[in-house]
Structure 1
Amino acid sequence: MPALTTTTIGSLYRFKEDLNESIDEAIRFQRELGVDLVSDGEQRADMVSYFAESFDGLAIEHWAPVVTGKIQLRSDPGDFSKVKDLEYVRSKFPDLKIKVAITGPTTLGMTCGSRKIRSHYKNIMDFSLYEDLAAALAQIAKALVDRGANVQIDEPFLSQGYKDLEARVRLIDGMAEGLPAERISVHVCGFVGGHGVVNHLQQLDNVSVLSFAFSGTLERRNIEHVSRAGFQDHGKKLGAGCVAVTPLSENQVNSPETVAAKLKEIAGKVGRENIAYAHPDCGMRATDKSLVPIILRNMRAGVDLFG
């Protein structure tokens, strides 16, 4: 069986002041450290604020995103910043396999709506807020896929559990409707063992890969909530978070042997054939930048040890 593919979960620290130079460096950095399916490194900003540039109904007030009215895409999806970044990457690296992360409707809506909702929506639980976000995000997802990218939908807030979780998961399916499922993944960080999160996500029709974390102190318990049958019966593959992103010093970084052992543990639960790729537990924008190359280097070495 061939070696597992490696990837990242989107964000890395900002490499350069100039955006395009920073994207170039983020890609070179990943490739030099053995990452097979690279990201753009999310070099613009955090995972929420940049949407205000292209969405009517979102704005930045006092350095925080808020809801100001009905949400819709302001112009052609090709004008969206992430799409433009992808086009730039394609111009420089035409044959590159790339995965672009976009924030999902629940996480985006909760983040913006919890700060302020000025008009149009009743409150943060008004489900039409999330429906409108999903409709706008669907256009962006299609534009990214049309330009050759894999798309990762980030929904960390889903791990918190919602009474309407099934409906929120259906919004993700709506975002990906009509797109090739093999190009679409969902990443939920943190502990996913409560509220039936894993089972609900496995019901997705238009998503092929579910990425979970297994290496952090809390996330280690996620292994108890995945199974071979759960993935095989629903035609899903697992993105395996096999290295922690929260070390405070070099001696706390997971060693290649620890990474290989974690992958062996995960494969023992879900089957190696059901692992799509290996990746860090989460994005690494907040990780000590001196430790990021060590994390990725050890991940690559651990995957090679795992075989």
Structure 2
Amino acid sequence: MATQHDIALTNALTGIPGPLPPSGVIHVAFPHANRFTIVGNHLAQHDGLSLTAIGIGVHIQSLPAGAQVGIKALTARFAEGETTIAAALRELETHGYLHRTRARLANGRVITRTVFCNQPGAVLRGGVVPVVGPAVRSTAPAPTLVREHVRVPEPTAVLEPRPMAETTSVPEPVPVPEPMPVREPIPVPEPVPVPEAPHAPVRLPPRTAPTQPRRPLPHPQALTPELRQAASALLADLRRHAEELVLSEEAVEELVPGVTAWLERDATTDAIRRALTADLPKPLKHPARLLRHRLTALLPPPLPGVHDLAQPRRASVTPFQTCDGCERAFRSHDPGHCRDCRAQYWEAA
């Protein structure tokens, strides 16, 4: 089969008139009889559109009128994701190929009306009647306005009676058909020019809040074999107290450092079990994620030492004394005179 295919391709290349180019693509073109779409080079070779936008534009132009061309429909049809397809549609909308407007129906429902224009430049220049419907699939010239003729019944000729005495022959009157009325051509409204977007559309920030990074699982200062054994036994025993907390061996090994951090902070096994099994959601889809969150968010602080719980020692207060000279109160450990009286005595001396 491969040899026959090569021979057929060689024969097709031989039939191409003129010399073949030394490099680059060689076109072997056969005329299409059906199922084809005419695409302009302004779209297929557009230097401002991405390859994805050009491909989606050609695909939309080949679809019949009424086909679904939304982001969900294109995502289900192609392998690209919603973000890539949405960006390509915005590119087509920026360059005038695609127009999306919101319209309200008679029943109050709001829909998105999508209009694809195969020649945005012709719409801006005006004077071209757009064809509404599926893509044009022939190379016929532009339609011209044809006046519609109305067929009117031909009038019947009425013959007058001839007198009997006359012998000469009188020619019969020939009926003359009346001119057929012609309808006036219906004026076609000129298309409203669509101005090009002066700049790229503004991308609004997402409405959802940014996702906060997940806090790391707490780890103990020293992971001893005794703490590891106690933490593994506590995690494996949780399904006896709550049927939903069935953990795999991999999940137990992942959560062991968090439980050992609780045990290192002198938390009892009963306290850890109550914190992990109380008020479980119904239904519980991911028990390991829930336990990881509780071990991280509910981690208790280390127990304070004996010196931390002792009452702080109050600073000693200097008592009041009565001055022997002016009898004013002043603070001093020894009785005597105040500062002013001592200064007067020093000056007198």
TM-score if structure 2 supplies the norm length? 0.19
Larger radius of gyration: 2
Indicate the structure with greater strand content.
1
Per chain length, whose mean CA-contact separation is higher, i.e. which structure has more relative contact order (CA < 8 Å, sep 6+)? 1
Indicate the structure with greater helix content.
1
TM-score if structure 1 supplies the norm length? 0.20
